[in-house]
Structure 1
Amino acid sequence: MYNGEELQPLELQYKDYSEWMRGRNLESQRNYWKEVFKEEAPVLDLVTDYPRPKIQSYKGAQV
């Protein structure tokens, strides 16, 4: 590109990578993460500027 040089043709393209990814067997990884997250996540009792409400709410605001 600089000095009038040309790029070499690509041996692999993204479509080759995506086909390789689609053909992989990820069952062992799926089983690992299911085992890691099988228990419910604990509630983090972090210090805040205000007390935590008794009933959880998903109300939010925008600025």
Structure 2
Amino acid sequence: RIRLQGLSLKASNDHRMAMSQALFSLRACDMGAGEVRSVIDNPACVNKSFPEFWHAWEAFADD
């Protein structure tokens, strides 16, 4: 498995990259949303297409 703990991920202001990196980091680390230790450089860029992404992320990852 790829471990992304402590990794800083560059979304380059691309909402699609930020959302896919979030999902990838969750799967790669086998952790819940509150436990993922990677950092996306601009998480707010998801607001372009899915302003509630991080709220949905928390609900999804906690299930």
TM-score, length of structure 2 as denominator length: 0.22
Structure showing greater radius of gyration is 1
